[in-house]
Amino acid sequence: MAPPRTYRCEAIILGYTPLGEADLLVTMYTRDQGKVRAVGKGARRSSSKLVGHLEPLTVVKMSLAHGRNMDVISQAEVTQSFAELKEDLTAITKGQYLAELVDGFGAEANPNPGLFQLMIDCLRVIEATKGRESESASDMPLRFFEFHLLQVSGLMPELYNCVECRQELEPDAHRFSPNVGGTLCLDCSPDDAHLRPLSLRALKVLRLLDRSGIVEACKLPVDAGLADELKSLLSNTVAYWLGKEIRSNSFLERLHKESQPEVYI
Ligand SMILES: [Zn+2]
């Protein structure tokens, strides 16, 4: 039986680039299909019914038509605009960081509803707390996002036992490396360029991020030194995996394209 010609989906717009005279090539993350790239025909014309519906960091319900190479957006309805977030440059920048990570980690034709919901939850908290967080706590929604991005991607770091000797970790300073999968006790010294110190209080926050919801996590008291350690540790861990993921994603995408006999939009 032939697959249906059109489908509906709920999507977060991650970004777009101009295409041809008046079209947009839109990258979005959908709840049920994973990452989707689709064409908004005529979307750059002021008369288009798609104008204002395809802005980055907007949640939309849309109808798409399957194309040979690229799907085409036929209808879009905004369900969550994050208009207040978009009034604040710092909040926009945080949202763009989330969008870049979802673009990098999200794969086409590989749905991950947990990742979709994680991005929406984090955008909501960034919007609700914009402009009124303390300096050091203001990035906790990003740390929560990075941590749970690893979790929903199956890359959750080990936080309770040494990844080498499997001994339960004592309440002490330890070391951490994304390359070996998480935390190491002080007795284990693998030759690993990614190995870094991990303070006891940073380990405690990581364990709390594991157990907490985002609202609770963003209320944790975090001073500037701890905020810097968490930022360095989590953003470097995400970047470590992103380097690998981007290569595998683009390889899969190339394979997918090469399996299409004809290429047109
Ligand atoms: Zn060990």
Rg (CA), the chain: 21
| 84 contacts: CB under 8 Å, gap ≥ 6 | 127, 130
Residue 26 forms beta bridges with which residues?
16, 38
Would you place residue 264 in the very low, low, confident or very high pLDDT band (cuts 50, 70, 90)?
A: very low
Give dist(CA 218, CA 138) in Å, integer: 8
Between 169 and 137, where is the model more confident?
Answer: 169
pLDDT tens-digit series, residues 145-174: 999 999 999 999 999 999 999 999 999 999
Instruction: Give the CA distances from residue 22 to residues 51, 69, 234, in Å, rounded to whole numbers and listed in that order.
Output: 11, 19, 40
Q: What are phi and psi of 64, to 5 degrees?
A: -130, 150
Q: Say yes or no to pLDDT of 211 above 80.
A: yes
Residue 149, pLDDT score: 96
Mean pLDDT of 183-202: 92
Of 10-24, 140-154, 200-214, 249-263, the least confident: 249-263
Cα 174 to averaged position of ligand 1 atoms, centre (Å):
10
Cα 105 to averaged position of ligand 1 atoms, centre (Å):
30
Cα 93 to averaged position of ligand 1 atoms, centre (Å):
39
Residue 135, pLDDT score: 54
Between 251 and 197, where is the model more confident?
Answer: 197
Cα 237 to averaged position of ligand 1 atoms, centre (Å):
20
Cα 203 to averaged position of ligand 1 atoms, centre (Å):
15
Q: Say yes or no to pLDDT of 257 above 90.
A: no
Residue 3, pLDDT score: 64
Torsion, Cα 96 102 105 110, to 10 degrees, reads -160
Cα 183 to averaged position of ligand 1 atoms, centre (Å):
9
Residue 23, pLDDT score: 95
Cα 186 to averaged position of ligand 1 atoms, centre (Å):
7
Residue identified by tokens 């978009």 is 86
Would you place residue 262 in the very low, low, confident or very high pLDDT band (cuts 50, 70, 90)?
A: very low
Cα 198 to averaged position of ligand 1 atoms, centre (Å):
14
Q: Where in the chain is the domain with CATH 2.40.50.140?
A: 6-83
Tokens for 171?
A: 């309440």
3-state SS assignment for residue 199: coil
Cα 235 to averaged position of ligand 1 atoms, centre (Å):
24
Mean pLDDT of 31-45: 95
Cα four-point dihedral sign 123, 127, 128, 134: positive
Instruction: Give the CA distances from residue 139 to residues 62, 117, 207, 228, 237, in Å, rounded to whole numbers and listed in that order.
Output: 32, 19, 17, 10, 16
Tokens for 186?
A: 């002080």
* 83-109 exposure pattern, b = at least 16 Cβ within 10 A, e = fewer: eebbeeeebbebbebbbebbbbbbbee
The second-level CATH assignment, the architecture, of 6-83 is Beta Barrel (2.40)
Would you place residue 72 in the very low, low, confident or very high pLDDT band (cuts 50, 70, 90)?
A: very high
